[in-house]
A and B are shown apart, each in its own frame.
Chain A
Amino acid sequence: NAGVTQTPKFQVLKTGQSMTLQCAQDMNHNSMYWYRQDPGMGLRLIYYSASEGTTDKGEVPNGYNVSRLNKREFSLRLESAAPSQTSVYFCASRQTDYEQYFGPGTRLTVT
């Protein structure tokens, strides 16, 4: 039982490049989330998926797209990376209304 896994752990991109962050959970949870965390700021929701086949915008969706590939997997895509997207990205899945399980994070630098 691995919980929530994310790949890659680290990534450096040049401005304008694209990439996809992968997330998978093995807890059979319906809801999954993508957050970004910047220094001195809490976790800000980018996109979420309440159930397989649905996705919705969170607080900071601009510059990102998501795909809920199946119940296990939820990917985050940066189509044209910008330095403002330098951040740590966390994927999470929902256990209850108040408890989420988080992955280890992806540390992304855009130069």
Chain B
Amino acid sequence: GQSLEQPSEVTAVEGAIVQINCTYQTSGFYGLSWYQQHDGGAPTFLSYNALDGLEETGRFSSFLSRSDSYGYLLLQELQMKDSASYFCAVARVYNQGGKLIFGQGTELSVKP
């Protein structure tokens, strides 16, 4: 079957760096996406990795190691507004209709 694991909660202080890990088990892995969700609102797309390595988008970076079935989201220079839930999601090669499989989410709390 398919499964994704990520920590349920992470706490960090403003200005710090935090890493949210995601390990996955799935057949036909194609790529790993990250989404952000504030206060139960609409999830929004943050980043995507299809190849091994680091993708940087401003203060956010995402990393993938296909051989380790592992990825992470790195948030730098944390701000209070980064307090949110973060979900990793797997896209598969034969993903009929572009389905994504989501992890259970990591709730990030940024403290002053």
Contact = CB atoms under 8 A, between A and B. Distances in A.
The answer to whether A and B belong to the same complex is yes
Contact of A50 (B89, B97, B100): B97
Greatest chain B CB density within 10 A among A40, A42, A56 is at A42
Contacts of B91: 97-98
Interface stretch (A10-18, A20-28, A99-107): A99-107
Contacts of A97: 30-31, 91, 95, 98
Classify chain A's interface size. 20 to 34
A37 to B, nearest CB: 8
Nearest to B95: A97
A31 B104 CA distance: 23
Nearest to B2: A59
A43 B86 CA distance: 12
A50 B45 contact: no
Classify chain B's interface size. 20 to 34
Contacts of B112: none
B97 A56 contact: yes
B42 A104 contact: yes
A61 interface: no
Contacts of B33: 98-99
B64 to A, nearest CB: 12
Contacts of B89: 98
B58 interface: no
Interface of A: 4, 31, 33, 35, 37, 40-45, 48-51, 56, 58, 88, 90, 94-105
Given A90-B42, A94-B98, A101-B45, 6 more contacts: A40-B104, A50-B97, A95-B45, A97-B98, A100-B45, A105-B40
